[in-house]
Structure 1
Amino acid sequence: MQITTALVSLLIVVQGGSISCLDLGHGIDGRISGGELAEVNQFPYQVGLSIEEPNDMFCWCGASLISDRYLLTAAHCVEKAVAITYYLGGVERLTPRQLIRSTNPQVTIHPGFNCETLENDIAVLRLPEDAVSCDSIKPIRLPGISSSRTTYDYVPATASGWGRMNDESSAISDSLRFVSQYVESNEDCEYCYANIKPTNICMDTTGGRSTCTGDSGGPLVYKDPSQDSDLLIGITSYGKKSGCTKGYPSVFTRVTAYLDWIGEVSGVIYS
């Protein structure tokens, strides 16, 4: 089976020159599949991206704030970006605490990114101005270099985003939602995806609780009890083309595989 028929990236694209960034998603009710509504300030690191591409194409993705100037997202979200509007600190998607627009976005895509297989699906974004520091806007911690070999197999983790609720939803959500499930081992994940790499991390989606279209680039987070802090361990990358609610694992880019590269690009690094 060709990889393009086996998986699908989790962004949504809207065609037509009459649609602007702020028009995207009015009057829709989709969201992360089977998720719960986020509370105010629950995910202060969550960022929404309205991405403009050539030929009046627009898409929506998620991202994670890792410092006052830098974010992590999926490379497939921003590889064609000509402008990006950043939505920070909001639960309702179109009413953020801070709105930043860049018509010349600073995007660093991993040099090994493969748009066909979605290998190395990670990118660093630099904001054109500092993110406001407040209860609703805070960076998330990255795992330390000393944790780079940690697999996080079978620990609980949380994914969040404004993606669709299910495969029948026509578009993305106005409200931020989240799901908390267990990380699967890569060995288990390989039963569903032949292309799983050590640079991927997978989440169980039993009960149809999953990331879905519109969640790409968003965070997968583990609460480390030893430090009592949230750690960004994954970036939403792809799922089965057959649907978000079929029980197939969600696939993320494994953040620990890229800590050195992230540090080189952004200066954000933990020991």
Structure 2
Amino acid sequence: MSGNLGEFARGRSSVGDALPCSVRMSHVSFSYGESTVLVDANLRVEQGEACMIVGENGAGKSTLLKVMLGALSPATGSAELFGASASSFRDWRRIGYVPQRIAGTYERFPATVREVVAANRYAVRKGFPPRSENDNAAVEQALDDVGMSRFAKRLIGELSGGQMQRVFLARALVNRPDLLVLDEPTSGMDVDAVESFASLLRDITAARERSVVVVTHDTRRLSGLPARILRLESGVFEECEGSASDRRACVPEREA
């Protein structure tokens, strides 16, 4: 991996500097019918802060992300991104998102690694003009920073799960977002791929120059990330002390 990751870490917008709070969820409750998922949940992620949200499968972590990013509306409370309501937020170049279960979706996708990463540059441009020199440079830098430059011409479906996850991290980073959101980033990876990916995440979170939210149940394999740790259980947050692998010593998260 290149030592230039700091270039992306320093690539915040001036607007981001003026709005230090990247994510704020206040007294959020959400249910699917009679099944309650979130109960009076509060979350605040400052600009430059890394936050790991942990919990068992089915704890509601993916639902939490959907509310956070405005895809679902809370039954009560509010969700904000950079001070704006998440439901009306439109400045998506400021957010880099890596969803879970990528590999199965792209295994037959007829595009190269470079093309997949470059597609995200349209978020910062109007219409669909040819890629500029700046676009190409941003793509090459993103691939270099995640150690995937030599795979740039390979079809995305020819990659392993770990390699594909790195490519989609590059895709999320290519616009130098203020907020990076990762949903179960190690899902489907083998041990070696997880360690390589975790090392990359440690570099990103240690920089403390962009906000990072990692949602996972894989606390053991992602231990050591320099991140604030919250556990989602029974619809509420508990803040945990110690390392990402320590699920004890948790206290309820309070609204600031």
TM bracket (short chain): under 0.3
In the superposition, the TM-score normalised over structure 2's length comes to: 0.26
Larger helix proportion of the pair:
2
Pick the structure with greater CA Rg: 2
Larger strand proportion of the pair:
1
In the superposition, the TM-score normalised over structure 1's length comes to: 0.25
